[in-house]
Amino acid sequence: MDSRVKKVLELIHKHFEDEDKQYSEYESSDVEYFVGCMLYNHFAFSKALENLKTMDLSYDFLSSFRDEEYAEIEKIVESIDFEKEEEKLLFLENYISKAKDKYSASELYLLNRIDGHVKALKGIYDGSIIPQKVVFKK
């Protein structure tokens, strides 16, 4: 796993060691999910479906950090960049795979969720999935 991602994970896991900072349904695997979301948003994939472009981080997660704490994490994430989107996608796939290896099946709900988004995005890039726009009507 990339050393910068390891540092981000270390900082966030250390932050949540303090139970007073944990939200009501906190699980350790949430950290890997949220870092995956941060990377996904940072990479801003041009072929992402519209609903995936707005993938957001949880208010509970973000609000537990002081601004200066989060600024350090954000700076590290912003330092991770690649020239081609396919390289970004591979980086994110590898990250999610390694993150999932750390947890049992019962702890993978959120990681499986982002993994599904990334697999769909990969299918769009390789042409095996043709995106369709979803129109919600009242």
Domain ranges of the chain: 3-126
pLDDT in tens, the chain (138 residues): 899 999 999 999 999 999 999 988 899 999 999 999 999 989 989 888 777 777 777 788 888 999 999 999 999 999 999 999 999 999 999 999 999 999 999 999 999 999 999 999 999 999 998 887 777 777
Task: Give the per-residue pLDDT at 24.
Answer: 82
CA distance linking residue 89 with residue 43, whole number of Å: 8
Q: Decide: residue 60, CB within 10 A, 0-12 exposed, 13-18 middle, 19+ buried.
A: middle
DSSP string for 28-62:
THHHHHHHHHHHHHHHT-TTS-HHHHT----HHHH
